Structure 1
Amino acid sequence: MYKKTEKINPFTLLCVFALLTSICVFSFTFLFGENYFSSQKAPNHNPIYLKTSDLNESIFIDGNSMFSDLAITEGWSGDGSSNNPYIIENYIILALSEHGIEIRNTNLSFIIRNVSITSGLSNYYHGFYLQNVTNGVLQNNTANDNLAGFYLVDSNNITLTKNTANNNLHGVRFLHSDNNTITNSTINSNLEYGLYLDQSDYNNITQNTLFYNVLGSIFELDCVGNFISDNIYDPEAFFLESDSGEFDADGTFTLNWTASENADNYTLYQNGGVLVEGLTQTHYNLIDLPSGTYEYYVKAFNIYGEVSSNEIKVIVKFHIIINGNVEFHQSALNNNFTGDGSYSDPYLIEDYEISADIDHGVYIRNTNLYFIIRNVVVSDGAPNQYSGVLLENVTNGRFESNTMENNQYGFYIKDSFNNTFISNTMTNNINGLLLNCSYYNNLTLNSVNNNRHGFSVESSYNNTIAMNNVINNTYLGFYLSGSYN
């Protein structure tokens, strides 16, 4: 026995088909999103879909034909004529793999406005790059963090107005580009120049703001006829140095700095405080500073801003360096040495502590003035082969109760005569005292110990060396060569 097959109602089939179709549509929408089906349609070039930060579309145009075709494809208004230029606007572009907007080889008229291009610097891409282009206007755009924010090559009659170019290598750069205009733009904090003009002539650059560009606001290379006026600049970077270098021996030196472009005046700071302000020159003389460490920097000012120079350090380590009678008199005046250099009233130099790490502690030559050096300590010349006291062609000096420690020579007396050394201490030097080609000097009651050599006398005669305490020197207490009496 079997059951008779029943016919299926056509209406029922239609309902089942509709239900299955709805389930499929719902499933695709759930899995792929509501744009899945619209994406399968013919491309929709309405600019609203291209001008989103998610797509990061760069724009490349080469030639009039490609410009016209792309304008139709992208829906840009205009026809490229001077009366009805193409309008490219409202894009946000990351220049990660190519220049943000690159246009080449066209003389069609166009306006690019309200476009932001960033992030090209790390991969060496420009924001806006025009090559062999005329008749363009770039307005209200932003180009930050690119190789050049705006780069024109072999391009003429381009107007850049109300744009911003910050934190690029160069804010705006022209190469072989003439008769262009940059106006009312902000070009700040670029890593080299704000505006770099290279073999580009008769450009009009007015009413722009250029602040904090590291190498300078505007740089021109082999240019003629550029009109640059009414721009606002901060003072530009400059460099400070001392004519003495890091170390100074007498507390008198000059600070020099390069001129800061656009600066009205300068303020000099010493150890964090204002030393002098309102300077218009680019140098300042320091006189007779005591021993110590001094840190300096300079600020340049104008009505729009300020910029600081590099910081330098000058370490004053007092030394006595004299060459000749005239210089001796001047040094006595500068350092308030008592006396007048005569037999009855010798100059008195006393109570100094000197480090000989950058020069001889006391270096006197070519004088016959009378002087006394007393209670002076000179140390630490040995590492750089400096002496505690070095005399050359000196007469009538008297050294008493001084201490020479850890120098190349405690005393080095060369071509000198009629000098007296009494009650001095020479310890831990390479050589305690050396007489070289020197005569009629008196060395008494000195303590010479723990040196490599104590006394060395070379090619010298008629010197008095008596009642000295010479002990514990490593090699020789006395060394005489070619000397007598």
Structure 2
Amino acid sequence: MKSRTATIRNIVVVVAAITLISSSIPFDSYSNPTARNDMMNSSEKPINVYLANVLHGPIIITSNNDFSAQGFLGSGSESSPYLIENYSINTTGTCISISNTDAHFIVRKCLLTGGDDGDGILMDNVMNGEISNNSISQKDRPLHLLLSSNNMIVNNTISENRLQVTLHSSTNNEVLENNISDNSGGLYLLSSPNNLVANNSILAGFGTGIILENSPESTLTKNIISNNQGGIYLHSSSRSIITNNTLSENIGYGIILDDSSEVRLSSNILLNNGFGILGNSVEEWKHDISTDNLVNGKPIGYFWDLHGERIDENPYYLMIFANCTNITVENIVFDRSSITLGFSSNCTLNNNTSLESQGFGISFYYSVDNKVTNNRCNSLSLRYSSNNDLFYNTISGTSYVGVNLRVSSYNRIEGNTISGFEDGLWLYEESTHNHVVNNTISESLMYGANLLYWSNNNTFSDNHIDGVHLHEAHSNDFVNNTFSGGDIAGVDMFGSSNIKILNNNISGNSIGMSLKSSWSNEVVSNTIYGNSGGGVFLNSGTHDNLLCLNVFGNNGDADARDNGNGNQWNSTGIGNYWSDYPGTGAYYIPGDAGAIDYHPHGYTDTEPPIISNPADIEYIEGTLGNSITWSLTEDHPSHYVIYRNGILVDSGDWDSDLINTSIDGLNPGAYYFTIVVFDIYNNWSSDEVIVTVLAAEPTSIPTVTTTSTIPSENDIPHPILVVILIAEIGVVMILLVLLSKQQRGL
């Protein structure tokens, strides 16, 4: 009986609990403005329950009268809205379409799905509607408001749709407490000012969480935006308010303000997401950004109209300087973020580190006469910026471009090391009259340098670059550079003219030079040697180029191939040097053009490489950082070998002016290190360095003072005392024996 009574009691408790829980579900809370305000201020989101127990076909409402005509309950007043509820609609077209109405209505607790050719709910020229507690999935646009105002979108679950929730030319609407996930984007407001977007959860979208485009004076507050392609993006949406939002792990960015002014940003939390400003006028860089906006726990450092300040301490996650002059920022280490200058001049950025920025490590917009020196960053960008000096920076990373100039002219880029990018350097969209001098650009996946779309009149000199590409770029000069290691080509041109390629070393590439649809270029006095796929290729559409005084040899199947028209391979008695020229007659260039070098020369290099003679070295056994460095000079380097006491210990190709080998880890003794360096003509030079390794000093054993336990002569006991002590021990032993026998009964 007790067991049965207990069972009955447990059932009653469970039923009572279920009843209590079900009675607490706020199905209709949003019909009550007071309840809605309470929900806005609550940190707990309501629970969505979709009954949707009535199958229904698509619903089309085109006037106020259609609500009652189609049998929907209500009168259309604010106190008695028409109700469309509990329907399950599965269609490849639009599930619910409402247009040209101002009657009050509610669409709630519906399940809308069925193919992405139509919208979940379309509202066209609609006022006074409420869309609440619905589930919308697998549609084109889950919710689409067009020319609609004073509507509410509340507590819906919106997932796996092709596009995002869209408000177009719609004002004074409220989008509250929705769960939006796994769509191509979250929420898109286009030409839709004065809307409120609050307390939504926007997750795992394939686009941006919230976009405001031409939608000023909107408010975004208390939204959670996570794991989308981007967080919040404003374009031409001035005087908007972004407050108390949480953005985390969005791939591209956290918040971007673009072509917008006087945006108020406060109390937002960004986790592993960045923040940036874009704009084409100084007014579009003026915002109200407080320091309670935190990125990974640190404030955003936004500085407006600051002048003559020096900053060498950094409490900020990132720094943005807008309309500033004569600012110095140096010795700052940034945590995954950046320094941005907008409409600023005569500033100096020196010896800062920003290696893991989510955006550009250092970026300028409409900024002039600034100096960027000795910084370490993962990228550097100039847009609409001129007369800046970028000197001796180390720029390394794995992103798309290392140094990016867009519509930026008269800048000087000198002595930088750029490595690890898809393209090391971009001069893009009319970036002209820039000087690129003595830089090293390496480990590029595509090209070391790219000159694109009317980036004209630039000069490259004394650089070491793993390939350069020109696309519709004109009147650029390349002098005394080394183009080596290009996986596509050392020099690659398309649609380019009046380019001067003078006195460069073009070797060790897949192809030395490739010209496509390019004309009136000069290729003079270059060494084009040792390119595995060929020397110079002139493709069809290439015409009227001059190639002379170049040295060709050891270039794959052909030193040159001309399929163009009217290209000249000699000038006034001066042709090119060909390693396979037999010594008499003209030199015939392979290819459809039937081109001929009428004044060729044979070429054989008999000069060995020039190698330095480092001093002999001594070091102590066990120390680290010991090495030998040889300096070399050679126009046609090939390979090297290093021997230690006659045994090969190192070898490889060389195309730079230094070879370094470690000599750590040797036992005490004398070692003879011999290097032999070869050029491509098999000329060689050698040098020997004697390395003496000294034995390390023996480790001294510390002296430990102890108290002796050996008695001195004065400490030896008196003989009588010794006898007494022995007797006492004997007595004790006898007593122990007797006691043992007594216990055994003996």
TM-score, normalised by the number of residues in structure 1: 0.50
Query: Which is bigger in relative contact order (C-alpha 8 A, separation at least 6)?
Result: 1
Q: TM-score, normalised by structure 2?
A: 0.34
